[in-house]
Structure 1
Amino acid sequence: MDDPYPQHRANAGVVLFNAEGLVWIGRRADVDGPHIWQFPQGGMDKGEDAEAAARREAYEETGARPDQLELLGAIDHWIAYDFPPGLPPRPDQKRYKWKGQKQRWFAFRFTGRDADFDLTAVPPQEFAEWRWEKLANIPPLIIDWKRAVYEEVVEAFSAFAR
């Protein structure tokens, strides 16, 4: 199968649902502004299985262990976004190798306790704080150039939000 996004970095996105059907959302630690909330997400290593990458990213960014994540569903195609022109540099400079990111998204039921979340589990810390939120409320919290991706994710996983 041809890759429709060869200039985009492979990435895994995670939507964590609690028993009440609310989703975990984090406020990014490295930026300020009104649209700085997002779901855990991050790059896939070369040859890494997409679900394994999602579980790894969930742990690295939230402290949620893989055994606390029960797979609910996945989006079986890439969803991509482009980085906007003039995006400020990042310390790792990875974003400048790519036009944007292509993502595979996974929905998990979090079976642990809120106290199990540890935003400092794996440095560098991605999120400064987190909260549970209704899935339908997520898109307006997201930066505009990622919002269409989140709208698609919300639609795809809405059955898991009670």
Structure 2
Amino acid sequence: MTTNASELPYRPCVGIVLFNRAGLVFVARRIDTKEEAWQMPQGGIDEGETPITAAARELEEEIGTNKAEIIAESQGWLQYDLPPELVGKVWKGRYRGQTQKWYAMRFLGEDSDINLDTAHPEFCAWRWEYLERLPSLIVPFKRKLYQDIVHEFAHLAAPVPEA
């Protein structure tokens, strides 16, 4: 199998910017990294699945709830490349990085609805964070992607008035 990144495709994925009513964003700390890396929920699109369906599924699989509604969608697909030392090692060596459709969602549940102890846990801790801080919390090779996400969804990072 090749480990020349330019010969590999991007893995199709979705990502979720989950806003609470205070305008803060859900981030979680990955179980499988040595460094303290915090990220938003994301994951692959299964064959025959639409990106919207994948986003709802990934949210439930990763944080134990899908009590959320879509409030915006990224204009296009955003990509990142794996660093050279990871190409050929993650995702069974089949991809050079990910191409992602991102969805901004409003969390409709309570904090107690969030449960990281899922069937296949990916995170060990979570918190609500300011959107603009996200690029400083993610692993370096995803930083530009997170900057693009912050730019695209910044207008949504405001408290929602009580109904």
TM-score (norm 2): 0.87
2:153 corresponds to 1:152: no
Is this contact kept in 1: 2:63–2:114, CA < 8 A?
A: yes
Secondary structure at the residue paired with 1:31? coil
Count of matched residue positions in the alignment of Structure 1 and Structure 2: 151
**1:32-43 paired onto structure 2 within 5 Å:** 32-34=34-36, 36-43=37-44
Q: 1:52 corresponds to which residue? A: 53
Q: 1:18 corresponds to which residue? A: 20
User: Structure 1: any 5+ residue segments left out of the alignment?
Assistant: 1-5
Q: 2:72 corresponds to which residue? A: 73
Shifted more, 75-84 versus 36-45: the winner is: 75-84
Give the distance between the partners of 2:44 and 2:131, measured in 1 at CA. Answer: 23
User: Structure 2: any 5+ residue segments left out of the alignment?
Assistant: 1-7, 159-163
Q: 1:140 corresponds to which residue? A: 136
Q: Which has the larger radius of gyration?
A: 2
Letter in 1 for 2:71: L
Secondary structure at the residue paired with 2:136? helix
TM-score (norm 1): 0.88
**1:79-118 paired onto structure 2 within 5 Å:** 79-87=78-86, 93-118=90-115
Identity %: 41
Change beyond 3 A, Cα 1:140–1:95? farther
Secondary structure at the residue paired with 2:21? coil
Give the distance between the partners of 1:89 and 1:98, measured in 2 at CA. Answer: 8
Shifted more, 114-123 versus 11-20: the winner is: 114-123
